Structure 1
């Protein structure tokens, strides 16, 4: 069926209300109509994510219904007996409505639903799935995307985001839902009366918060000095406000100042067009406050509170937003060094990171005799590894992180958790404050010991059908036509995760990559700099990750400029081949 035929079928459908049809009728741009209907919104390993609006390639009640109907049939086909699904949602536009639509469909299929009474942080949903022994979980969120977006993340019974095999199975059932009349629904009151819809709240929050507080490493330090730490926190109009502040308050952090302008949930994100703690602009108001408060730490959580960014004062008295890699390296070192000092570091202790995350973590882990495990990009793979460790019993999970500001300690949550991370960041800041240094100085000490690592992410926005085709064409060029030098430096290794082969281009040998297949390429240079190219799984972007190591900050910055220039020349060739 062509995009035009799909468009006409929606206009004539009895299942669309008049306001939805009016939205479609008012579309004047043929390219816009094509983009809305040329494909179905893709269900990947993270679920759905897209712009809110009518159309098969948009987030709306109908695409949510179709996806949930497919998920319902998948669960009914896979499990016997009582089946339940836990659902949470964040502060985004239509999040509550999409959550209710998903709940109504599940209940209509005879599946019990545990739905939060109000918005919740994504990691709390991960915990809730495990708490109720649900067979699946759903979070309605688009994480840190702009206000135009929403999404639908699916979790497995382990509390982690569904990975490749399960996602493909779920997608096969979604594909069978090819007509609106196949999407079941149930009245909310009937669902409650039948015991299918269960509204949950404080009882789950209380247990989760208790588990988070138990992850405190230096309890005596926190008990004695927590009230001396000055903190500025912004929830960036999202779901982190209540759980983050509650944890800190109950641990004794009394000097927490919240950015009032960004405190209340608001899906329009009036003070942050891009509500991402990776973007320094989200901290502008906090930095104005800092001039008066002089905080020890500033941090912000994204709308669904699974990512966190921190701001520290450098040696010149200027505030700097740390990268996800820098924060992850600091936390890795703090956790491992503290556990060793307290004689609590297990022999099989393990840190997990993704293949696009700083190699400084590898150096730190090695220094403390801990294992370091690499996984594909996406926190779902870290959650999956935690489950493998539990089953095999050969490794003890200590900490996991990715460069995109996601961190997790403990194993009762299986996704990145900014509530846990905020607590550990405050404890780490407090520890160094008692040592007479701030986090920036602690980071400089790590650089002096392990090398001045510098990483960068370049995202090329390539929208629509043409953009997707260009991304695939570029990856094919890099895969098959890439030359073996970059500037004056030879490429030492080429790692193609789509075919699971690592080629040693110096010694002319190959080995199998023991990771799931993924459309990702990594090139490692003779000087140990590297770059990775992959399509984004959630946005119309091609992502290029770069890493170099220098002898000083200035040296690494110069190396990065040259390296980025050489890499982007190749990327430009690939995009225009």
Structure 2
């Protein structure tokens, strides 16, 4: 039986004139109380990148009413910043998902009804271009309608602030406060009224051209690309998303003339009909690309997710098979390539800094030390990399070289403040060409070189989905049990320290020490040899993620340790998963 609060929420949606008849019919047809409970037991909340959830009617679902309420609350926060903020306006973009275009238009119309200028892209665009557009238009904020790499049943609303990075926590809290105060009857105007008022402006090719010019400026060997780019064979798939036009264009204009785009996945498709999930991390998403790679004898396979902020990479081995590189491995290779190239040409800034998320590989630690570049770790979410870039600019201390996170996100340059798969595709292609033409190596060879030089660090992420109210409670129980764990070793590896990032403390050598890191809901342990395990509940999905980074003396040693460590770790929480 539903509790009174959930029942009241459900009945409000069934009876209020705020909601249309189709929405009411969808809810009236529900017969499973668990489903009703899941739709109404809570409101969707901001996480690391905004708000994301399954499509459908209800307070815990993405729908046009939530879009309006969220946008109105966001608009009130902007209004609180004064007339100048309203005049600067909000840039809005969307990807190829269900209702993305409609949600983007609703966002623009609610903002313009609040007297706020809206810059709306005329068709689907990538997340990094939205970040660029915020900076390019000197807007106060930005909105991207996307659920990134999630299944087709999801959509989301990513919010950006004036520097082009995702919304800071303080501003996100203000939006949530406003949402708690307002109802579902939100003022809105028509598209025609918005255009006539002059508050709605459409963005298109001029913005595209400026964005792509900034992307191409990040390449390190443009002359080599133009001269030899045609020697590299590339198979690319946009996985039915927003990446195709811009990845094809940046590669072509840079000199990479042998690019074959997977035809079945070239066009936008709300159903993502050729894949289970449109995620380059999922091996199943590569099936068609690998088929064509064999036919084309491709050197490199590239895949972008629906909003084109994540880039997946596979490279050809000497025996004709393909090596699927992880986000950690791509990040390490790009760091090695970018910093190494700048050092070689005497262009490495003396105060250069590299950034990565705290759950990304430890392989980069000895790499950065060897290259003489400070490595700063930040919480999960690319907005924290953006924060550090902003801090460097404001203080004049530090020059941003490269940033990445293990979930296939990379950025070089400061034209945008989010990960960029369009840039990533160009950089990876250039790195592959550079090592092929100058050293006769593939990217897999370069990775092996890094392992031999800095240690065999193997990384693996395990994500566990725990749906609904029960799932949320079990995630909390998992974190409590891990926080209380006191084992001194795992998988034959000695635990050197334990980190509770939420409490900002570290347990080491019998002492509790302060942890100089923002308060975030992550638990970690660090092994004596530099590897680690971290546990993090997702802020935008019903998931808890476990990150393993295990160091070994050889690949076989690291693989065996990883297997044993995972078995020992999960034995403590198996009954809750």
**TM-score computed with the length of structure 2 as normaliser:** 0.97
1:128 aligns with 2:130: no
Distance (Å, rounded) in 1 between the aligned partners of 2:536 and 2:100: 29
Counterpart for residue 199 of structure 2: 196
Q: 2:522–2:534: 8 Å Cα contact kept in structure 1?
A: yes
Structure 1 residues 203 and 22: alpha-carbon distance in aligned structure 2, compared to 1, 3 A threshold: same
Q: Measure how far apart 1:482 and its partner are.
A: 4.0
Q: 2:276–2:284: 8 Å Cα contact kept in structure 1?
A: no
- Please give the residue correspondences for 1:77-88 in structure 2 after superposition, counting only pairs within 5 Å: 77-81=80-84, 82-88=87-93
1:298 aligns with 2:301: yes
Counterpart for residue 378 of structure 1: 381
Q: Measure how far apart 1:95 and its partner are.
A: 0.2
Cα deviation per residue 1:196-233 (whole Å; 9 max; x = unaligned)?
A: 11111011000000111111101221121112111100
Counterpart for residue 228 of structure 1: 231
Q: Measure how far apart 1:481 and its partner are.
A: 4.5
1:175 aligns with 2:180: yes
Q: Measure how far apart 1:572 and its partner are.
A: 2.4
Distance (Å, rounded) in 1 between the aligned partners of 2:46 and 2:537: 15
- Per the alignment, in what secondary structure is the counterpart of residue 472 of structure 2? helix
CA RMSD of aligned residues (A): 1.3
Out of 543, 546, 549, the residue aligned to residue 544 of structure 1 is 546
Q: 1:70–1:175: 8 Å Cα contact kept in structure 2?
A: no
Q: 2:278–2:305: 8 Å Cα contact kept in structure 1?
A: yes
Counterpart for residue 105 of structure 2: 100
Out of 497, 500, 503, the residue aligned to residue 499 of structure 1 is 503
Q: Measure how far apart 1:489 and its partner are.
A: 3.9
Out of 536, 552, 555, the residue aligned to residue 553 of structure 1 is 555
Cα deviation per residue 1:217-268 (whole Å; 9 max; x = unaligned)?
A: 0122112111211110000000000111111111111111000000001111
- Per the alignment, in what secondary structure is the counterpart of residue 410 of structure 2? strand
- Please give the residue correspondences for 1:319-468 in structure 2 after superposition, counting only pairs within 5 Å: 319-434=322-437, 435-468=439-472
- Per the alignment, in what secondary structure is the counterpart of residue 83 of structure 2? coil
Distance (Å, rounded) in 2 between the aligned partners of 1:56 and 1:311: 40
Q: 1:48–1:153: 8 Å Cα contact kept in structure 2?
A: yes
- Please give the residue correspondences for 1:66-77 in structure 2 after superposition, counting only pairs within 5 Å: 66-77=69-80
Q: Measure how far apart 1:380 and its partner are.
A: 1.1
- Per the alignment, in what secondary structure is the counterpart of residue 253 of structure 1? coil
Distance (Å, rounded) in 1 between the aligned partners of 2:50 and 2:223: 42
Q: Measure how far apart 1:80 and its partner are.
A: 3.4
Counterpart for residue 527 of structure 2: 525
Residues 491-500 or 329-338, more deviating: 491-500
Distance (Å, rounded) in 2 between the aligned partners of 1:419 and 1:338: 20
- Per the alignment, in what secondary structure is the counterpart of residue 573 of structure 2? helix
Counterpart for residue 568 of structure 1: 570
- Per the alignment, in what secondary structure is the counterpart of residue 447 of structure 2? helix
Cα deviation per residue 1:164-199 (whole Å; 9 max; x = unaligned)?
A: 22211221112112x222x11111111111111111
Q: Measure how far apart 1:569 and its partner are.
A: 1.1
Q: Measure how far apart 1:499 and its partner are.
A: 1.1
- Per the alignment, in what secondary structure is the counterpart of residue 419 of structure 1? helix
Distance (Å, rounded) in 2 between the aligned partners of 1:281 and 1:492: 37
Q: 2:235–2:261: 8 Å Cα contact kept in structure 1?
A: yes
1:512 aligns with 2:517: no
**What are the ranges of 5 or more consecutive residues in structure 2 without an aligned counterpart?**
none
Distance (Å, rounded) in 1 between the aligned partners of 2:410 and 2:529: 29
Q: Measure how far apart 1:509 and its partner are.
A: 3.1
Q: 1:347–1:369: 8 Å Cα contact kept in structure 2?
A: no
Q: Measure how far apart 1:43 and its partner are.
A: 2.2
Q: Measure how far apart 1:26 and its partner are.
A: 0.9
- Per the alignment, in what secondary structure is the counterpart of residue 158 of structure 1? coil
**What are the ranges of 5 or more consecutive residues in structure 1 without an aligned counterpart?**
none
Out of 240, 255, 260, the residue aligned to residue 257 of structure 1 is 260
Counterpart for residue 148 of structure 1: 153
Distance (Å, rounded) in 2 between the aligned partners of 1:63 and 1:15: 12
Cα deviation per residue 1:9-28 (whole Å; 9 max; x = unaligned)?
A: 10111122211111111111
- Please give the residue correspondences for 1:7-86 in structure 2 after superposition, counting only pairs within 5 Å: 7-81=10-84, 82-86=87-91
1:217 aligns with 2:214: no
- Per the alignment, in what secondary structure is the counterpart of residue 2 of structure 1? helix
- Per the alignment, in what secondary structure is the counterpart of residue 110 of structure 1? coil
Distance (Å, rounded) in 1 between the aligned partners of 2:256 and 2:492: 52
Q: Measure how far apart 1:518 and its partner are.
A: 0.9
**TM-score computed with the length of structure 1 as normaliser:** 0.97
Q: 1:45–1:162: 8 Å Cα contact kept in structure 2?
A: no
Q: Measure how far apart 1:477 and its partner are.
A: 2.0
Distance (Å, rounded) in 2 between the aligned partners of 1:541 and 1:317: 37
Counterpart for residue 242 of structure 2: 239
Q: 1:37–1:57: 8 Å Cα contact kept in structure 2?
A: yes
Residues 537-546 or 253-262, more deviating: 537-546
